[in-house]
Structure 1
Amino acid sequence: MIAFSANPCKNGGSWNGEKCECQENYNGPLCEFLADIIEIENVEATVNVSVRITSQKYSDNLKDNTSDAFKTFSRDFEQQMDIIYDDVDGYKGVEITSIRNGSIIVDHDVIITVTDSEEFSPDYLAETVKKIEKSLKNTTCTNSTGGNCTGFTFDSSQVTVQEAVITDVCGSLVPDNLKQYYKLTFTNNKAICASICHQARNDSLKCGTGKCGMTNSGPKCYCDLTDGYWYLGDFCTIAIHKNGLIGGLSATLILLFLCLLALTVYMTWFKKTTKEYLRKREDEENKIISEKWADDDFEWHSSEIITVVNTGTTNFDNPINEGESYTTDVTPGLESVF
């Protein structure tokens, strides 16, 4: 068992001494993953409806949802519409979206809530829309006493009912930066908020043989490591055979070793050959120099005899004793000897 001096758990999880106890909708050894499925109790749908009220006159104050006129009108309208929509299955209430002139045209959403998501089929929603439209067209007065209309009076010919739209509540159940990765998804038995990692979605993220996990920064593929393969890449689509990789690396290392060995042998041979070549070249140069000195015709004489070539008699004045002179005989045929 690994002991931690501080709480290693993420996303609000707590360490109990043995493992992390995660907050709701989080899982993983360190509570690092947001759940792929978030359960929802109720499923909502809205039906946009437009009705024309002829019993009251329009005023600009009705455009301001902070004005007293709007608040009073809104309260009365909601009370009267609760009466009209009372027989609609799953009716929860109405929400005014806009008030327009003519006499008063009220655009509002009829909110339908169903606890059993199996009932939220296209047929069920279509039938709900028909009930809403029928209730409005069969009602001209929302409340009457003694035959007199005390509530709103409707123009039954000016009723518009749109198709039902299922409300995606998933965005309110996850962090803001992860809203884009969750959406309302209907399975065989219920409605769930499914992440992009969940296979129930048609656009689920495919991670090959790996597993998709929803982290705080978004979805991420975690690749498998099997006995025979390593899986790599953003989507675990690159399969590397372990034995093949090990064999390839071994062969590469052996080839590299042989190349280094051959290079070492070559360098040793090259240095030895170069050394022998330089030695032979030096010997040859020394031999050539010796032979050249032997072939040169030089005659060595005593430094005491100097013979100068001259056909006549040369007189040299004695620089020491003026007036005295001497004569030197020169042997013909020699330039100089030194």
Structure 2
Amino acid sequence: AVPRAGAGPAPSLRGASGPMQLFRVLRLLWMLRAFLGSTGQCYNGGIWNGKECICAQGYLGYQCKSLKEYFSIETPQKINATVDLKVKVTNRNFTDDLKDNSSAAYKNFVQVFKSRMDEVYRGNNFPQYRGVNVKRLLRGSIMVEHEVIMEANYTSGYLELFENLTKIVRAKIMNETGQLHGNSKDCKSLSLLCYDETATSVDPVKVDFDPQEQCTKKAAKEFAQFYYVDELDGKLACVTKCTPGTKSEMDCHHGRCQLQQSGPRCVCLNSDTHWYSGETCESSTSKSMVYGIVGAVVALLVVLVVVLIVLLSRSQRKWHRRQEYDVSQEWQDAGYPGSFENTSIWEGQDLKGDTFGLENIYRNFQPSLRSVDPTTELHIQRPTVVTTAQ
């Protein structure tokens, strides 16, 4: 690693004691980190300019990992709006030169029409009126497609204002076209305009200021659909349901709201005493209760294991007793007819109460023949077979 200029010579590790050598190693590592850290890593389309990350739209933070919670909306001082209308003038005939907006006939008709519309719309109850713009003339006597231009100061209720102004425009034009009909005697004068009231139409208002468009342009592309316009601290802003301080903020109870690509989600937090769950982290589970239940289940399992061991031990002992060696039974199974007598030597009273039986005696029996006189005769009464009478 090459230290930066002005950092001094690299410290030597020769002849250094243990603590001092460790200190110098740590210093070298710090200098190496500082040197390598001169080129940072940026995320989400961010660009490193040599000092910091320049984040792409919608992101912020040292490495551009965080989404912006809101954007301020730039509001103009004046807002313009238009209302499209169609009016049928019945006391004039459509000619081909009215198709050409540069012809004298077109200009003369438009001038007469605008002058009349100014008289219709201007008034104390409509100070936002700014004029009429004729878009085109069509056949049908003369069908005039035009728009009424309005301008108002920006307020938070500008949309409602223009909706009300549209109602004023509708009322004024309907009143104008309903006064002079095409069959009236006054309509013969070319200085007046007569109309067909049934052909009059008024479209909804169009406002040139769209704050939602600003939200779409300023937000990160993958998350733009989750930003919308709302008031924040009394001003318009692009926010999400995770933006604190808004009317539509998502209530995550015991968690925090996080904007993900699937939309706003509640990330539940845990405390020292509870776990929290649910879509809005509204459900809580006591840790002590869970630990108590787990402990009770473990204790119950231990008891069951002990009981099973005891029962198994008893079962094995009974099985061993059943396997005790029975000489009488063995002789009886030899196929001799009748029954045995004189078996007391094998089944004496002192052996009947023995828990282990003859099998245990035979297993542990170790004869010693040192003191036995081989010349002595031993007489043992042989068991006799008694035949059962037929």
Q: TM-score, normalised by structure 1?
A: 0.53
Paired AA for residue 73 in structure 2: E
Number of the residue aligned with 1:208: 253
Q: Structure 1 residue 281: deviation in Å? A: 0.6
Once the two structures are superposed, residues 153-203 of structure 1 have per-residue CA deviations (whole angstroms, 9 ceiling, x without a partner) of 965775655664656441464278766544444567443444344577765
Give the structure 2 partner of residue 281 of structure 1: 322
Q: In structure 1, what is the equivalent of residue 265 of structure 2?
A: 220
Q: In structure 2, what is the equivalent of residue 270 of structure 1? A: 311
What are the residue-to-residue correspondences of 1:152-301 with 2, within 5 Å? 155=194, 161=202, 164=205, 168-171=210-213, 173-174=215-216, 181-185=226-230, 189-198=234-243, 205-226=250-271, 228-240=273-285, 244-245=286-287, 247-283=288-324, 287-290=328-331
> Which residue of the other structure, out of 155, 160, 166, is the alignment partner of 1:122?
160
**Rounded Cα–Cα distance in structure 2 between residues aligned with 1:228 and 1:260:** 26
Task: For residue 283 of structure 1, give the secondary structure of its aligned residue in structure 2.
Answer: coil
Going from structure 1 to structure 2, the CA distance change for 1:122 and 1:169 (only over 3 Å counts) comes to: closer
The corresponding residue for 1:9 is: 43
Whether contact under 8 Å (1:92, 1:113) holds in the other structure is no
| 2:67 counterpart letter in structure 1 | F
Give the Cα separation in 1 of the matches to 2:42 and 2:203.
51
Among 39, 55, 59, the alignment partner of 1:22 is: 55
How far apart in 2 are the matches of 1:200 and 1:136? 46
* Aligned-partner SS, 1:208: coil
Secondary structure at the residue paired with 2:323?
helix
Which consecutive residues of structure 1, in runs of 5 or more, have no partner in the other structure?
63-68, 139-152, 300-338
Deviation at 1:52, TM superposition (A): 3.6
Distance 1:4 1:283 in 2: 89
- Counterpart AA for 1:41: T
Bigger proportion of residues as strand: 1
Q: Cα–Cα, structure 1 residues 229 and 268, in superposed 2: closer, same or farther, change >3 Å?
A: closer
Question: Relative to 1, partners in 2 of residues 1:116 and 1:283: Cα closer, same or farther, differing over 3 Å?
Answer: same
Correspondence for 1:57: 94
Alpha-carbon separation, structure 2, partners of 1:17 and 1:229: 46
Inter-partner Cα distance in structure 1 for 2:59 and 2:210: 21
Is the Cα contact below 8 Å between 1:46 and 1:164 reproduced in 2? yes
From the superposition, tell whether residues 284 and 192 of structure 1 become closer, same or farther in structure 2 (CA, over 3 Å): same
Alignment partners' CA distance in 1, 2:134 and 2:269:
50
C-alpha distance in structure 2 between counterparts of 1:191 and 1:162, whole Å: 27
Q: Say if 1:27 and 1:34, in contact at 8 Å, map to a contact too.
A: yes
- Distance, in Å, in 1 between the alignment partners of 2:308 and 2:300 is 12
Provide the rounded CA distance (Å) in 2 between the counterparts of 1:236 and 1:171. Answer: 33
Q: Within 2, Cα distance between the matches of 1:95 and 1:46?
A: 12
- Judged with a 3 Å threshold, the aligned counterparts in structure 2 of structure 1 residues 16 and 70 are, in CA distance, closer, same or farther, namely same
In structure 2, list runs of 5 or more residues that go unmatched.
1-32, 177-191, 341-390
**Structure 2: distance between partners of 1:109 and 1:184:** 28
* Counterpart amino acid of residue 50 in structure 1: K
Shift of 1:70: 8.9
Q: 1:238 to 1:278 in 2, by over 3 A?
A: same
Change beyond 3 A, Cα 1:285–1:114: farther
| Percent of paired sites with the same residue | 19
In structure 2, what residue type is equivalent to 1:269? Answer: V
Shift of 1:31: 3.9
* CA 104–78 in structure 1, closer or farther in 2 if over 3 Å, else same: closer
Separation of aligned partners in 2, 1:194 and 1:5: 33
Helix, strand or coil at the partner of 2:259 = strand
Question: 1:20 Cα deviation (Å)?
Answer: 5.7
Cα distance in 2, alignment partners of residues 182 and 53 from structure 1:
47
**Bigger Cα displacement from structure 2, 276-285 vs 85-94:** 85-94
Task: Work out the CA distance in 1 between the residues paired with 2:324 and 2:127.
Answer: 120
Match of 2:379 in 1: none
What letter corresponds to residue 57 of structure 1 in structure 2? F
1:278 shift after superposition: 1.5
* Aligned mates of 1:129, 1:157 — CA distance in 2: 20
Q: CA deviation at 1:39?
A: 1.2
Contact 2:85/2:145 (8 A) holds in 1: yes
Aligned length: 270
